[in-house]
Amino acid sequence: MSTEVEVNPKRIPRAVAFNMLQKVAAGGAMLSPQWEPASSHGYVFEQGQDVDDVKLFERYAQILVRHDYLEQRFFDRITRCPACASQHLNLREVCPQCSSAQLSSEALLHHFRCGYVGPSHHFSGKAKDGRVCPKCAGRLENLGVDHDIPGQSLKCGPCQASFQQPPVSGICLSCGLETPSDRLVSEDIYSFCLAPLGREALRQGRLISQRKERVVEEGLPVLRSEVLQNFLFEEHKRATRYGTPFTALIFDIRYLDEAKLNLEREREIVGTLRAMLRNVDLLGRHRSGMLIASLPMTPREMANEVLQRLVAHFEQLTGVQVNAQVLLFDAQVPFEQTIQAAVLKLRSF
């Protein structure tokens, strides 16, 4: 069986995928975007890329991320015009009433005696003569004694409105559209770095399928059935050659409430098995609902004892029924046959 590429060749050619890994490696195991104001996309991964090149590069990189060859890291966020996608925007504060950008800053005054707070132009007169409060007509003479300046306020030139927190608006320098900042488009952009599988692919000079290379199942510390089969094959061969005992246990797990059959419950059973088996005993998948624990160097009687202990334990569990059998491998019988016979017996219960 070939361990070649799982990357869908329809979506990324192998040579391109490998080439991309090499590029990331050449960039010090991390390839980051470079700002490129002259490019209409705003950034590039390599000199000379146009918009379509960058988009294709990112699409391919995302495929490699999904297949665990690359990892993505947040690089920055770019803001674009919603009409033409240009990043050439002139952002500035504007008047909330008339949208003019012609704003000036003035001090906010707070009159202690009456509590009035307002921009300085609300107070008549000049600062040096003492301004007059519009609410109580009192004079503001000494800063810090009869009044203070709690902050700044903005004043609009055309409409004279006063406000403290102006909205921000962007004018697109490419198409001229003006857009309030909350309606501008923002896009997260990422750097790409080599994941362990990507490093391994470069070391081996080929792409590796992670699904096939995986030893244990996803989310469960159980050997994948293919891995277990290979292991049993090798162990059976070795035990035959050296005449050492080789046994295993096979478990048929049935959930009484099939609707609740899920990873959580299986993880619980696997956890129990792992805790009760030795470290040298491997636990793997035979098929859905069936697990096999190999017991190297364990003669039949000892295997039976382990089985009794486990069965006693599983009898206490509710909602699940675990039937188990000892697998006694015989040098003259292919190991698959021994397993098949046990499965038939278990399923006939």
CB of 39 to Zn ion, least distance (A): 16
Residue closer to Zn ion, measured from CB, 157 or 196:
157
Residue closer to Zn ion, measured from CB, 83 or 280:
83
CB of 189 to Zn ion, least distance (A): 19
CB of 215 to Zn ion, least distance (A): 52
CB of 43 to Zn ion, least distance (A): 17
Please, are residues 64 and 53 in contact by the beta-carbon 8 Å criterion? Answer: no
Residue closer to Zn ion, measured from CB, 22 or 124:
124
CB of 181 to Zn ion, least distance (A): 14
Residue closer to Zn ion, measured from CB, 134 or 219:
134
Strand pairing of 42-44 and 70-80?
A: unpaired
CB of 161 to Zn ion, least distance (A): 5
Cα torsion for 39, 40, 42, 44, to the nearest 10°?
Answer: -50
CB of 102 to Zn ion, least distance (A): 8
Residue closer to Zn ion, measured from CB, 98 or 333:
98
Question: What whole-number distance in Å separates Cα of residue 295 and Cα of residue 246?
Answer: 7
Q: Rule CB under 5 A: which residues touch Zn ion? A: 81, 83-84, 86, 95, 97-98, 100, 111, 114, 116, 133, 135-136, 138, 156, 159, 161, 172, 174-175, 177
What are the start-end ranges of the E strands in 200-245?
216-217, 220-223
Residue closer to Zn ion, measured from CB, 172 or 306:
172
DSSP of 276-321 = HS-TT-EEEEEETTEEEEEEET--HHHHHHHHHHHHHHHHT-SSEE
Q: Which long-range CB contacts under 8 A does 300-308 form with residues at least 24 apart? A: 300/245, 300/247, 300/326, 300/328, 302/247, 303/247, 303/248, 303/249, 303/328, 306/249, 306/276, 306/277, 307/249
Q: Which two tokens stand for residue 260?
A: 């609740």
Question: What whole-number distance in Å separates Cα of residue 36 and Cα of residue 156?
Answer: 35
Residue closer to Zn ion, measured from CB, 182 or 264:
182
Of 40, 58, 59, nearest in space to 50 by CA:
40
Residue closer to Zn ion, measured from CB, 24 or 95:
95
Question: What whole-number distance in Å separates Cα of residue 95 and Cα of residue 162?
Answer: 9
Please, are residues 244 and 238 in contact by the beta-carbon 8 Å criterion? Answer: yes
CB of 149 to Zn ion, least distance (A): 15
Evaluated on CA atoms 262, 268, 269, 271, the torsion sign reads: positive
